[in-house]
A and B are shown apart, each in its own frame.
Chain A
């Protein structure tokens, strides 16, 4: 029995080693473009500071938020990472098991970007009619700045068409590992396939960093990341309060800083922020809100806070979001039932696949469950659905989602937009009318 088991395991390990060595073939080259572009950098800085100004105008902001502002808008973290001697591994989306990266003493950085100004340079290589998030992120690589430049390798998951192909294009610039997501998430079939993908990723990370991922180091990193979830859940518990203790923009700042910040420092700062919010809660000086909103849909990433600014400038608060650039990234914990290598890997694999409510999977009902539950828990008055132009995934789910809320009698507004600032006034009018309607209801 044991003998056969060992042979089977050896076979599996061998196969995984072989698969881990596989790279993009690149027999035919893709146009490679690299040009440092100071103009873009300046423009981006301008956009960032403008955004920051708008955010700072909001009333009743907690003091602890200034730390996150610094990290997200300055280059403090970049400098830190430049000095870091280990490997830095970039990734897109929410499917990368950060536990594995941490336990190999590397640092994960999420590269999804929300900058409008890098789109134009990306379009010199990429087609125009694709997802703005992909174009924006790729633009950073072309213009050679920000975190992208620091990465030793990039993990590219394959949720949608645009991200799938981005991996191959990027492989002309730096090592790219495809993380091939299954098309549906179910116990058994996709789970097994996904577990293998995770094993391959583990092998790749070990090869890159030359650090072995051991039971001990993996356990330790699971513990640290679990701590992050604990803080986050505490933060969300506080967001349920009415009057709202923190507005939606600040909450997103907190979470998006976590995409590249030092994890221990982030936990510590967020713990402090929660303490401050707790204090505010007991002071009870804030005004009540009758415009508590839920935001769901396509990712909204710094500095693309256009929609958020419009919404929250009109005395309403986004109390909860269901965005992959927000709640969805950190929310689910890894619960290990057996502290063996297989047990931990299985738990990690499960966490990044099964509870994900990304619309790239074939079924949408679980996402609707999640939105409904959040709407109930956070006592929202209305729901805003954001979809990015040229991202069909959210649009395809939209009719189903909007119908559910119509049946429930919760006002629902769908906004279609992209990263450009041209349609601000149009959106403002629509949001204004929606909020007017909300207020008249209560």
Chain B
């Protein structure tokens, strides 16, 4: 009934980037020589042969840079990226990559993150696209949604710190050669081991992987990842429930405040109608609550701008890029 221009644009962008990220190289978009060196495992870390799950990138990858979202390493064959930022984030630590290799990647990540923050999550991430598609399928079927209760919401807000803390901790741990090898070898790229993406991307890009389950540790990680996978599927009912604690999202959300992209609210124009909360895939109440500060950028946000799109007050919410108005909310007229 009511046209939603921003959401429509977003859906198109999401679809195109989903396709490009997973199958882009098949179209011949291929840069053989990377501009900056790929972060390599030092001698002695031949993990890629040891753990099937970690089989590294083969051919066809274009970039070695990471935009922060889940551009999965298992998109082999046609994937545009060699891995997602989780890979870089944990392995650079594990491998004690020298600064000169490390820095260019970090700079690019920071640049992209400072520019747009979690905008990448709402508009580009393939896992985000999968969750959104599941949710819209459910709406098409006319099934009711499931609202996460307050307790779960608060729990997940805490849990995301536990998860990213754990990934960091384990990545640091295996950097110590004092640890016995049989433990270390199973802790490699723990981010990927816990990621539900590894159950999806390999299969839809046509390069299935063997899930090795030879030891208790691997089984534990596998089970946790399975739980996350269930959360991802449940997102049909709970909308972006995985994004609530996704470690990549946490990293990007640090830059939401103070990025070039700004979401602003005209405080007296807002009637506190709560439509922004109802439309938000993360049920973010901050945009609705805020009545003191013009700036309504918050960490728990994927910058999908659905709130701006559905707000019924002319100009109550607006999106600015470097001070230029990109979008503003409008009263919806049919037709």
Contacts and interface: CB of A to CB of B under 8 A. Distances in A.
A335 B279 contact: yes
Contact of A369 (B150, B270, B285): B270
B271 A366 contact: yes
B271 A355 contact: yes
A373 interface: yes
B232 to A, nearest CB: 14
B278 interface: yes
A408 B273 CA distance: 26
Contact of B268 (A188, A342, A343, A373): A373
A350 B2 contact: no
B257 interface: no
A222 B333 CA distance: 13
B291 A365 contact: yes
Q: Considering the complex of A and B, which 4 residue pairs feature the smallest CB-CB distances, nearest first? A: A355-B273, A342-B144, A354-B274, A355-B271
Given A187-B285, A338-B139, A340-B139, A354 B144 contact: no
Contacts of A233: 331
A354 B278 CA distance: 12
A347 interface: yes
B268 A369 contact: yes
Contact of A340 (B144, B274, B310): B144
Contact of A215 (B142, B273, B278, B285): B142
A351 interface: yes
Contacts of B333: 230
A191 interface: yes
A219 B1 CA distance: 9
Given A338-B145, A340-B139, A340-B144, 8 more contacts: A185-B272, A191-B274, A226-B332, A230-B334, A335-B273, A350-B278, A365-B291, A369-B270
A5 B144 CA distance: 11
Contacts of B271: 332, 355, 357, 366, 369-370
Contacts of B218: none
A369 B331 contact: no
Nearest to B283: A187
Contacts of A333: 312, 331-332
Interface string B314-335: 0000000000000000011110
A257 interface: no
Nearest to A220: B1
Interface of A: 5, 185, 187-188, 191, 215, 219, 222-223, 226-227, 229-230, 233, 332-333, 335-343, 346-347, 350-351, 354-355, 357, 365-366, 369-370, 372-373, 376
Nearest to A345: B144
A362 to B, nearest CB: 13
A354 B272 CA distance: 6
Nearest to A377: B269
A351 B278 CA distance: 11
B312 A227 contact: no
A223 B269 CA distance: 24
27 contacts: A5-B146, A185-B272, A187-B277, A187-B288, A191-B274, A215-B142, A223-B334, A226-B334, A227-B334, A230-B333, A335-B275, A335-B279, A335-B312, A335-B332, A337-B279, A339-B139, A340-B144, A341-B144, A347-B275, A350-B273, A355-B271, A355-B272, A369-B270, A369-B271, A369-B291, A370-B268, A373-B268
A372 B270 CA distance: 12
Contacts of B54: none
A334 to B, nearest CB: 9
Interface in B247-287: 267-275, 277-279, 285
A378 B267 CA distance: 17
Nearest to B143: A340
A333 B270 CA distance: 13
B269 A337 contact: no
B93 to A, nearest CB: 37
Contacts of A347: 275, 278
A333 B288 CA distance: 16
B310 A337 contact: yes
Contact of A226 (B1, B267, B268, B272): B1
Contact of A343 (B145, B267, B285, B332): B145
A226 B335 CA distance: 12
Contacts of B291: 365, 369
Interface string B132-161: 000000010011111000100000000000
A343 B1 CA distance: 14
Contacts of B274: 187, 191, 350, 354-355
A200 B133 CA distance: 33
Contact of B145 (A336, A342, A376): A342
A408 to B, nearest CB: 11
Contacts of B275: 335, 337, 347, 350
A191 B288 CA distance: 14
A343 B288 CA distance: 18
